[in-house]
Amino acid sequence: LDGNNVTLWKYRSLLPVRIEPVTLFEGGTPLYPVDVDVDARVFVKHEGLNPSGSFKDRGMTVGVTKALELGMKSVACASTGNTSASMAMYSARAGLRAYVLLPSGKVALGKLAQAMMHGARVIAIRGNFDVALKLVREISERKGLYLLNSVNPFRLEGQKTIAFEIVDQLGHAPDAVFVPVGNAGNISAIYKGFLELREAGYIDEIPKMIGVQAEGANPIYRAFVEGKDSIEPVENPETIATAIRIGAPVNARKALRAVYSSKGKVLQVSDEEIVSAQKMLAKQGIGVEPASASSLAGLLKEDSDFDTVVCIATGNLLKDPEEVMRVSGTPVEVDANISEIERLI
């Protein structure tokens, strides 16, 4: 299947596919120890090092394989960017037509570039992600397109392998896993992975699942604080972390169940805290997009007595070059001569 590449298909017996998978060798991402001012062993699982640069590839390899298995010709999604990039890539690989609905003007450039180059039909709507998702669900139904948002259970099956890899890499379960939360599929998927590991006897206890939302897009945080198991949508979500700029997450109930039953919690972080965590990771050689840094930003706010903690970094730095240039400034420009340059060194 994949030569000597370590991919998530290592766990094939736990994944619900019947045909040869459509793979770009996803999964097998590094678990980096990081040095941050927290009294625990902290690791970052760098999902930005997947083929398209985000964790979505874990879901797409399974979801797109399923589309082929079911004889579908076309796939569709709404996206804040990464899902569309990943779906475009995997459907190109599989020879499927791909249709993508995006919130116009709110998708990071790297993600849009990927969706375009890999040949998806990209439709930018004047409206936010929540509206796009509602529309694409209806259109998929009407047109017989295979929907690949995280309402598709096979997406979550692929993403649960994050839990398998963490336990494989650490040799045990961590005490807590911090996960950036937008549409809330990933935290639900990772929780399911840990449940399966416990059922199979590989771990005794499920780590505390800690969801982290951006302050301006925090419906699940609000529900958690009020002890509820469903959300009130946020009408006009806004955050620098456009990946998680979502007001009505479809997997909210599942995510809240994961949080409550693992005795975890949901935190919110400001845009400033996100950027500061993003820079902290960058200084240790780990380049992530803003949404990805929210997990570490959450950990830094939390005074906990965990021994071992894993923060999920969901997407690559290169996804959102415009944000990076805004927060890190532009290079100094000088004439092309030695003395000018030496002045700067």
Asked whether position 110 contacts ligand F0G by CB under 6 A, the answer is: no
Q: Which is nearer to ligand F0G, 182 or 298 (CB)?
A: 182
Beta bridge mates, 312 = 45
Tokens of 121: 């039909």
Q: Specify the stretch interacting with ligand F0G by CB under 6 A; choose among 33-41, 177-185, 195-203, 269-277.
A: 177-185
Asked whether position 180 contacts ligand F0G by CB under 6 A, the answer is: yes
User: β-strands 176-180, 208-214: how paired?
Assistant: parallel
Q: Specify the stretch interacting with ligand F0G by CB under 6 A; choose among 178-186, 198-206, 228-236, 323-331.
A: 178-186
Q: Specify the stretch interacting with ligand F0G by CB under 6 A; choose among 18-26, 73-81, 273-281, 323-331.
A: 73-81
Backbone angles phi, psi at 314, to 5 degrees: -85, -25
* Binding letters toward ligand F0G, positions 211-250, x by CB under 6 A: --------------------------------xx------
Q: Which is nearer to ligand F0G, 136 or 173 (CB)?
A: 136
- At 3 the three-state DSSP class reads coil
Q: Residue 19 CA to chain centroid, in angstroms?
A: 26
Q: How far is CA 204 from CA 102, 138, 319, in A?
A: 41, 42, 37
Q: How far is CA 121 from CA 87, 92, 96, 277, 289, in A?
A: 11, 12, 11, 35, 24
Asked whether position 197 contacts ligand F0G by CB under 6 A, the answer is: no
Q: Which is nearer to ligand F0G, 181 or 209 (CB)?
A: 181
Asked whether position 82 contacts ligand F0G by CB under 6 A, the answer is: yes
Q: Specify the stretch interacting with ligand F0G by CB under 6 A; choose among 17-25, 117-125, 224-232, 288-296.
A: 288-296
Q: Which helix (H) or strand (E) holds 265?
A: strand 265-269
Cα–Cα distance for residue pair 56/184, rounded to 1 Å: 13
Query: Interface residues with ligand F0G (CB under 6 A)?
Result: 54, 56, 79-83, 150, 180-186, 243-244, 289, 291-292, 314-315
